[in-house]
Amino acid sequence: MPVLTIDGRRIGYDDSGGPGTPVVLLHGFPLDRGVWDEQMPALGAMRVIRVDLRGCGESEPSDGPALMEVLAADVAGVLDALQVERAALAGHSIGGYVALAFFRMFAERASGLALVASHVAEDAGANPNADPAQRELAAGRNALARRLETEGSMDAVIESYLPRYFAPRVYGDRPELVERARAMMARQNPGGCAQLVRGMQQRLDSHDLLEDIDVPALVIAGGADSYLDARTLRETASAIRGAEFVLLEDVGHLPQWEAPERTADALAAFAQRVHG
């Protein structure tokens, strides 16, 4: 599988190749770039670059907190190595935070921005008015990072995330998706994921970026997402000029697997807007 050395660190990626402005797909936590497999056929006519965040997939872990700005710089390094000047970015969950950081740092290189089950708020630990689900998640981050490092396995993340990652109906109706997610989570680097947790704690609030986004934009929300309120994501889309909002009513935090075709169609339409 292809890897690049970016600033002395191995970063896993794949590139479908071809002409035109690429779409960069950034996965969520604690997953890897394989989470987008089912969307690839719908994007087949376009150039798609998928990147593993530090500590996930084939990418080496960070030495300290994996700040969103550091991860965005990794993405820029991949694009540099591939001689890509501009790209549209689509980020799921933490991947959305990275896409926002990329836009803040390299706005001139961003030709589109899509948030998939992701939001623009800072970590709830720094915001007493945050949504209760986000406050609960933030409150456990330090303990989660410590367990990942001391236990040397992904069990703590699986215990915390897996029971809430999907819409409630999935656990009874589609247990194969749950086991597939468990397997993907289990193969990530525990120490690297601890540093991703710490990086998420330190992310910036990105509400200030919304009025500056002047490229095609997309926000995908799951109506049954236990982490994010779809109404909040609708408000985010409303604050971006010309953004499209897609609500997947019966879907939780992993629309790529829960509603693969609808997610793929939304991303394909977004990519078409990027290409004009």
Overall pTM > 0.75: yes
Quick: pLDDT tens for 206-234: 999 999 999 999 999 999 999 999 999 99
Pairing of strands 9-15, 3-6: antiparallel
Q: What residue type is 120 in one-letter code?
A: V
Q: What is the mean pLDDT of residues 24-34?
A: 98
Give mean pLDDT, residues 8-13. Answer: 96
Task: Pull the structure tokens for residue 104.
Answer: 């803040």
Tokens matching residue 259:
């509603």
Residues 6+ apart with CB under 8 A from 146: 194
- Specify the CATH number for 3-121+204-275; select among 3.40.47.10, 3.40.605.10, 3.40.1080.10, 3.40.50.1820: 3.40.50.1820
How far, in Å, CA of 214 to CA of 139, rounded?
A: 35
Domain boundaries, the chain: 3-121+204-275
The whole-chain average pLDDT of the chain stands at: 94
Q: Which amino acid is present at 155?
A: D
Q: Taking the C-alpha atoms of 64, 70, 75 and 81 in order, what is their torsion angle to the nearest 10 degrees?
A: -90
Kindly tell me the sign of the dihedral angle through the C-alpha atoms of 77, 80, 84, 86: positive
